[in-house]
Amino acid sequence: AESPAANGAASCKDLRGSRGAMEASHRELLISKPNGAAKIAPAPSASGFARSESHISSSSAIIIEAEACRQRYKRLHPKDCADDEKDYKTLVHTLTQERLSAIFKTKIGEGACKTGLCGLKEEQARVYFNVYGKNEITPPKRENIWIKLLRQTFLGIFNILLWSCVIAEVALIVIFSGEGSGEETHHSGKGKPEEGPDYVTPIILSAVIVMAALLQWYSELKAESQMEAMQKLQAASKVPTVRMDHGRRVDLELDPLNLVPGDIIFLQAGDRIPADVRILHCTDGTEVDNSALTGESMPEPRHNKTEPVTCPPPEARNLAFFGTTVLKGNATCIVHATGDATFLGKIAQGIKSSRVKSTLEIQIEHFVHIIAVVAICVGLLSLLANLLSPVKRGPAEILQNSAAALFAQVPEGLLPTVTISLMIASDQMASRNVIVRKIDAVETLGCVSVFCSDKTGTLTTGEMATQDLVVPSGAASFSLEVYNRDRDSGLFKSQKLLEDIATCGVLNNGAEIKVDGGEERWTGSPTEVAILRACAEVTGGPAATATLKQRPENFKTFEIPFNSENKWMLTIHGDQNVGYFAILKGAPERVMKYTTLQSDPSIVGKVEQQLQDLMGQGRRVLCIAKKDLDPNDVPKGGKFEGTNATDCNFPMKDFRFVGLYGIEDPPKKGVAEAVVDAQKAGVKVVMVTGDHPDTARAIAGRINILGSAVETPANEAEQLQGATEFSVITGVMLDTRIPKGDNFTDEEPEENVKWWRKAVQHTRVFARVSPIHKQVIVQAYQKYGYNGIGDIVAMTGDGVNDAPALKQAEVGVAMGQRGTEVAKDASDIVLHDDNFSSVVKGMEQGRLSSENLQKSIMYTLCSKVPQVAPTFGELFGVPQALTVAQVLLIDIGTDIWTAIAYALQPAESKLMERPPRHPRHEKMVNCKVLVYSYGYIGQLQMLFCWLMFFWATPGMWDLYLSGKSPNDYSPEDFVTDTMGMTVYYWTLVLGQIAAAVSTTTKLQSVLGFGTSPYCFPNTTLNLMFVGEVVMGLAAIYLNPIQQAFKTGWIPTRSVLLPVVAFIGITIADEFRKAFGRSLE
Active site residues: 454
Q: Residues with Cβ < 8 Å from 35, sequence gap 6 or more?
A: 47, 48, 49, 255, 258
Reduced to 3 states, what is the DSSP secondary structure of residue 522? strand
Give the three-state DSSP class for 573: strand
Give the C-alpha separation, 239 to 216, whole Å. 41
Q: Which among 226, 221, 210, 86 is positioned nearest to 159, based on CA atoms?
A: 210
Provide the β-strand partners of residue 483.
469
Distance, CA of 414 to CA of 1016 (rounded, Å): 22
The answer to whether 625 and 655 have CB atoms below 8 angstroms apart is yes
Helix and strand element counts for the chain (H, E): 39, 28
Cα 803 to Cα 822: distance, rounded to the nearest angstrom? 6
Backbone angles phi, psi at 72, to 5 degrees: -65, -40
| Residues 1021, 902: Cα–Cα separation, whole Å | 7
Nearest by Cα to 682 from 953, 939, 484, 450: 450
* Residue among 16, 123, 22, 11 nearest 71 (CA): 11
Interstrand relation of 276-282 and 239-245 (parallel, antiparallel or unpaired): unpaired
Nearest to 845 by CA among 424, 459, 433, 452: 424
Closest CA to 240 of 231, 227, 252, 250: 252
Among residues 1068, 330, 308, the alpha carbon closest in space to that of 320 is found at 330
Nearest to 1063 by CA among 1013, 994, 971, 1010: 994
**Cα distance between residue 685 and residue 674, in whole Å:** 10
DSSP code per residue over 878-906: PPP---HHHHHIIIIIIIHHHHHHGGGPP
The whole-angstrom separation of Cα 796 and Cα 806 is 7
Distance CA 285, CA 523 (A): 15
Give yes or no for a contact between 413 and 895, defined as CB atoms under 8 angstroms apart. Answer: yes
Question: Cα torsion at 8, 104, 292, 330 (round to 10°)?
Answer: -170
d(CA 245, CA 243): 7
Q: Kindly state the helix (H) or strand (E) to which residue 213 belongs, with its residue range.
A: helix 200-233
Q: Output the DSSP codes for 23-81.
A: HHHHHHT--PPP-EEES--SSGGGSS-PPPTTS--SHHHHHHHHHHHHHHHHTTS-TT-
- Dump the DSSP string for 319-353: EE-TT-EEEESEEEEEEEE-GGGSHHHHHHHTT-S
Which residues are registered as beta bridge partners of 523?
512
Report the run of H or E that residue 620 belongs to, with start and end. strand 620-628
Coil/strand/helix, residue 729: strand
78 neighbors 91 (Cβ within 8 angstroms): yes
Query: Would you tell me how many other CB atoms lie within 10 Å of the CB of residue 301?
Result: 19
End-to-end CA distance of the chain: 80
